[in-house]
Chains A and B, each alone.
Chain A
C-alpha cells in the first residue's frame, strides 16, 4: 500500500466523477457511493499506516510495533535510524531539462494525514446524509465533498511542490463551492468569495515560495528540497526568502493573523462542511505544508538558535487574537471558528518553536475534537429550530443527552483537560516551547489555554444549561447524526494516548517524525509541574467563566431561582471540577451563615474576589469587543478593503485600454512583441 498510495486520493476522485455524471438519476443513493469510496480510502490508509509502522520498526529493530503499542512497551533505543520515505513518481510533462513529476511521497506524516482526512471525511459524509436530507442540491453536495476529500489527499501525498500546489488550489476551489453551497442568499456567496480571495492572497506567497525554492534547490521534489535544506551547503538567505513566502501561504490557508477574517465568514456553508474545513481538509493544509517542508522553515527562520521568529510570532499572536474574539460571538459556529483560528495558531507556533511532533500531534487530536464540536453544533441547530444563535438555545442538556455529552467531551478536550486528547498535545507544545528556550511563547500558550477553557465554558453554558430560550421542541438527533458524534467523542478521549509521554508512549516521535532529511529537533521530557500548571489554568478558567456567566444568567431573572438553582448548581459543580472555585463556593455559603470572621471572609468574597472575577470577565469581554471592532473590523478589514479599492481604481484606469477596437489591440500586441523580442535579444547578447 505504501507504493500504491495514489489509490487513496483516486477513489474519492472517481466517486466525484461518478456522482457528477450519474448522481442526478440515482438520487439519494448517490451519497452512499461517495461514502463507500471514502470508506475504501480509509481502509487503504489504515493499511498504509500499519505498513509504515512495520517499516519503521523493521528499521529500528523493534519486533512488532502494534504489539508493542498495545502492551505499552517503552522503546528506548536512541540510535538514529534513517527510515526513508516511499517515493513513487511518473513524469507528468517535461520542459527542457526540467521534469514535472506526479507521484506519492509516503512517510509517517503522510500516513497520519491520510488516516485523519479519510476518517473525518467519512464521518462527515455519513453525518451529512441526515443533515442535508431534502437539500435541493443533495447529489452535487456529495460530489463536491468527494472532490474536496480527493484534493486534500492529493495534497497530502504530493511528491513535489507543483503537485502540492495543485492539491492546494483544488482544496481552495472546493471550499469556495461548499461555503457558497446555498448561494441563493447573497451573504453566503459573499462569504464564499471572501474565503476564496483571502486564501488566494496567501497563495501568491506560496507560489513565489515554490519558485524561489525551485531555483534554490533545482528541483520541485519534496525529498530533494528537504535534503537540500538540511544539508550543510544550503543557502540560508534564499531559504529565508522561501520560508517567508511559504509562510504567507500558510497564513492565508490556515487562517492566521492577519488573514484570518475569512474563516468566521466561512461559517455560511453547511455545518458538516465547516467541520470538514476546520478539522481535516482546508485549514490544516497550511500547517501540513509547514510540517512537510519543515527543514526549509527550520533553516530559513533559524529556529534552532531560539529567539523570536516570524512563524512563532504569527502563531502566538493568532492564539490570543482568535481566542479573545471567541468571547463576543453569539453564533456558536463562530465561537468554534475563532477557536479553530486560535488552535491553528498553536500548531503554527509549535512549528515555529521547533516542536514538530507536538504540532503534528496537535493537528491530529484537534481534527477529532474540532470535527466533533462542529458536528455537535450542527446537531444542536438541527433540533433547536435551525439557529446557531446561542441566545436562542439553552437547557438542551436534557433533551439531547448524546449531543450534550459528546459536545462536553469535545470542549474539555479543546480546553486541555486531563486525560483527554487535547491535554496531551497542547501540553507537549507548551513543554517543548519552554524547553527550546521560547519562554515568551510558553506564556502566550498558557494565556491561550486560559482563554480557550473560558470561552468553551461560555459556549457550553449558553447552549446546554439554563432554560431553553428558543422556539420549537428540541429533541435528540437521529442515529446518522449521533453515530459520528460518538465515534469522534471516543477519539477525542483516546487519541491522545498515542503520544502520552508519561505512559512511555511517544509514537508520534517514533513513527511519524521523519528521520530522513529532517533537522535535529529536541524533545522535551514530560514535565509534571507544567502539566499541572496548564490543567490548573484551564480549570481556573472554566471556573471563572462558569461563575461569571452563571451570575450573569441569574441576575435578570431572580424569580424561579430555587427551581433552577439545583439544576444550575449541578452543572456549575461539574464544570468547576471541584477545584479552587469549589472551595470558594463552599466558603460563600458557610460564610453567609457563620460569625464575624466568616462574615468578613464573606465580604472579602463578595467584593474582592467577586469583583476580581467579574472584572476579569468584563475586562475580557471589553477587550474582545475592542479587538473585534478596532483590530479586526477596522484595521484588518480596512486594509483589505483599501487594497480592493486600489485594484478597482487600477481596473477603471486600465479599462480605457479595452476600447473594443481590434486594431488598437493589434497595435498593443505588436508593440509588446517588439519589446519582448528586444528584451530577449538584449539578455541573450549581453
Chain B
C-alpha cells in the first residue's frame, strides 16, 4: 500500500506546484509547459486509480491536441513570451486570491465532513473496471446516445471555430 501512497504524494506535489506555475508564470509559453506537467500528472493519477483507458485518452487528447492548440493560440495572438509579467495579470489579483482560498476552504471542510475516513480499496475488480473493454462496453451500451450527441457537439464546435476564426 505504501508504494501507492508515495507515488501519490510525489504526483500530488508535482501537480500542485505545476498548477501554481500555470497561474503565476510570467511567460505564456512556460505556462503552457507547466500545463503539460499538470495534465501528465493527472494521467498518472488515473493510472494509479487503475483507469487505464482514461489515462491514455488524457495523454492523447490533452497533451497531444489541446496543448498544441494552446501553443498555436499563443503564437497567433502574439502573447508576450517573457518579461512584462504585470501585463499578464489584472488588477483584481488579491481579490482572486481571497475568493479562491475561501472556496478551497469551504470545499475542504465539506469533503472532510462528507467523505472523511472512507477508503478506496484496490483489488482485481478495480483493475478489470479500468480496462478498455469494460469502458467501451459501457460507452456503447449504456451511454450510446450521449456519445452520439457529443459527436454532434464536436462537429458543431468545429464548424463554430472555423466560422469564428475565419478572416473576412
Q: B103's closest neighbor in chain A, by CB?
A: A674
Counting CB contacts under 8 A, is A59 at the interface? no
User: What's the nearest-Cβ distance from chain B to residue A670, in Å?
Assistant: 5
**A670 B103 Cβ-Cβ under 8 A:** yes
A interface residues, tally (CB under 8 Å): 11
For this complex, 7 residue pairs linking A to B, each with C-beta atoms less than 8 Å apart, are A663-B90, A667-B99, A671-B102, A674-B99, A674-B103, A674-B106, A677-B107
> Are the CB atoms of B92 and A677 closer together than 8 Å?
no
**Given contacts A663-B90, A671-B99, A677-B103, could you give 4 more A-B pairs where the C-beta distance is less than 8 Å?**
A667-B95, A670-B99, A670-B100, A674-B99
Q: Is the CB of B109 within 8 A of A664?
A: no
Enumerate chain A residues within 8 angstroms of B96, measured Cβ to Cβ: 667
Residues of A within 8 A of B92 (CB): 663-664, 667
B102 touches A674 (CB 8 A): yes
Size category of the binding interface on chain B: 10 to 19
Q: How far is the CA of A677 from the CA of B110 in the complex (A)?
A: 9
Residue contact B95 to A685, C-beta cutoff 8 Å: no
Is A681 a contact partner of B109 (Cβ separation < 8 A)?
yes
Minimum Cβ distance to chain B for residue A27 (Å): 44
How many angstroms between the C-alpha atoms of A663 and B90 in the bound complex? Answer: 9
Is chain A's binding surface mostly helix, strand, loop or mixed? helix
Chain A, residues 634-676, CB within 8 Å of chain B (1/0): the string is 0000000000000000000000000000011001001101100
Asked if B84 is at the interface of the complex by the 8 Å CB criterion, the answer is no
Whether, in the assembled complex, A561 has its beta carbon less than 8 Å from a beta carbon of chain B, the answer is no
- Is A440 engaged at the interface, CB distance under 8 Å to the other chain? no
Q: Are the CB atoms of A678 and B90 closer together than 8 Å?
A: no
Task: Tell whether B113 is near chain A: CB-to-CB under 8 Å.
Answer: yes
Out of A663, A667, A681, name the residue touching B106 (CB < 8 Å): A681
On chain B, the residues within 8 Å of A678 by CB distance are 106
A681 and B110 alpha carbons, distance in the complex (Å): 7
Distance of B111 from chain A, by nearest CB (Å):
11
Residues on A with C-beta less than 8 A from B99 are: 667, 670-671, 674
Asked, given contacts A663-B90, A667-B95, A667-B96, whether A681 binds B103 with beta carbons under 8 Å apart, the answer is no
Nearest residue in B to A684 (C-beta to C-beta)? B113
Q: How far is the CB of B118 from chain A (nearest CB, A)?
A: 17
Contacts of B102 in A (CB 8 A): 671, 674
Q: How far is the CA of A681 from the CA of B103 in the complex (A)?
A: 12
What residues of B have a CB within 8 angstroms of the CB of A673 in the complex? 103
Residues of B within 8 A of A681 (CB): 106, 109-110, 113
- In the assembled complex, the Cα of A664 lies from the Cα of B92 at a distance in Å of 8
Q: Which A residues are CB-close (under 8 A) to B109? A: 681
Which residues of chain B are near A667, meaning CB under 8 Å?
A: 92, 95-96, 99
Chain A residues whose CB sits within 8 angstroms of the CB of B103 once the complex forms: 670, 673-674, 677
- Which residues of chain B come closer than 8 Å to A663, judged between CB atoms? 90, 92
A667 to B99, CA, bound (A): 7
When A and B form their complex, which 6 residue pairs have the shortest distance between CB atoms, in order from nearest?
A674-B103, A671-B99, A674-B102, A678-B106, A677-B106, A670-B99
Inter-chain CA distance A584–B16, complex, in Å, is 103
